[in-house]
A = this chain, B = another copy of it.
Amino acid sequence: MMINLNQCAEYLENKDNFLLLCHMSPDGDTVGSATALARGLVSKGKKVMVKCGDPFTNDFSFMFDGLELTEQEDYDCVVAIDVADPKLLGEELNEIYGKNIDICIDHHASNVIYAEDTLLEGDSASAAEIIYLLLKEMKVEITPVIASCLFTGVSTDTGCFRFSNTTTRTFRIASELVDAGADSYNIIQVFFETKTKTYAILERLSLESMRFYYDDRCAVICVTQDMLKRSGSDETETTKLANLPRMVEGVKVGVLVKELKDGSFKASIRTHGEIDASAIASRLGGGGHAGAAACTVNAAKNEAINLILKEVKAELDG
């Protein structure tokens, strides 16, 4: 059943032992939202556990500081947060809980509606915005640390207020969270103004590989396994690279071509305005959204790039 904030708050208030689940490759939104809700529930005298299929990285440790988590044999309420599909819980958690999620709180329009009850706001920029409103509905006091957990979700899922999902509500909630004591400056420093040294090297190597095509309307960077090795970096750090080519003035289509371990190449395509990234990707067997899409090409490096460029050109000239 689809439920609203009020129904969700009422439901949670009537349960006592909670398991909150995050998605794999945990990001600021799933962890910030889960820990904020956990703190709210604990403040109401509930017992709470938070789980994730992958380990939480150090950047998130402040979210757990002083939060009393209680591992229990049985949970009378299992809540998935920011999880659009139970597969995203990871194999193990999905096998145990995937079919028994009581409530899913999410902001992905693509949510597959797998939980008993679903609180879904497809146009919310982050799950954290929904959790904030939910905590207010539950009359939970927004402490500084809850505010910091939520601010992390609000800022990371909007690329620090730069993505098109950012709304007037996003800014208003950010304002209220800063008012409530969120450590906004330091959160932004950690999540947006810091690069690992290995990423800094990888970024430099990537920029060196940037080539321009079609009157500079297309820019391509290529990351090989050798570059990953030379930089000391790994796959987890390549995501941000995909945005670099499109940032150059005049570029309509930016492509990151990444060599995978099996020797094939994954293309991450980012476009501006009128150019449809998913049209380019789908002609090569991939898919995605209008502004961001991806596909995998099984070919040697130069051939792979040429195959992708051909489809880019078709779309640019189309």
Binding site for B on A (CB under 8 A): 160-162, 164, 166-172, 174-176, 178-179, 184-185, 188, 192-197, 200, 203-204, 207-208, 210, 212, 216, 243, 247-250
Give the complex CA separation of A169 and B178 in angstroms. 9
Distance, CA A210 to CA B202, complexed state (A): 13
Residues of B near A161 (CB, < 8 A) are 160-161, 174, 188
The number of times this chain is found in the oligomer is 2
Inter-chain CA distance A168–B175, complex, in Å, is: 4
| Chain B: CB-nearest residue to A200 | B248
Residue from the list B184, B204, B208, B243 in contact with A166, Cβ < 8 A: B184
Complex: A203 Cα to B248 Cα, angstroms: 11
CA of A178 to CA of B193, assembled, Å = 25
Cβ-defined contact, B169 with A175, below 8 A: yes
From A167, A169, A175, A210, name the one whose CB has the most chain B CB atoms within 10 angstroms. Answer: A175
* Chain A interface main SS type: helix
Residue of B nearest to A190 (CB): B249
CB neighbours of A203 from chain B (8 A): 207
Q: How far is the CB of A222 from chain B (nearest CB, A)?
A: 14
Listed A/B pairs (13) with beta-carbon separation below 8 Å:
A160-B162, A161-B161, A161-B174, A164-B185, A168-B175, A168-B178, A168-B179, A197-B212, A200-B207, A200-B247, A204-B204, A204-B210, A207-B207
The answer to whether B178 touches A171 (Cβ under 8 A) is yes
Beta-carbon nearest neighbor of A185 in chain B: B164
Q: Nearest chain B CB to A288's CB is how many angstroms away?
A: 19
Known: A160-B160, A168-B178, A172-B172. 5 other contacts (CB 8 A): A160-B161, A168-B175, A168-B179, A171-B171, A207-B207
Query: A207, B210: Cβ atoms under 8 Å?
Result: no
User: How distant is A181 from chain B, measured CB to nearest CB, in Å?
Assistant: 10
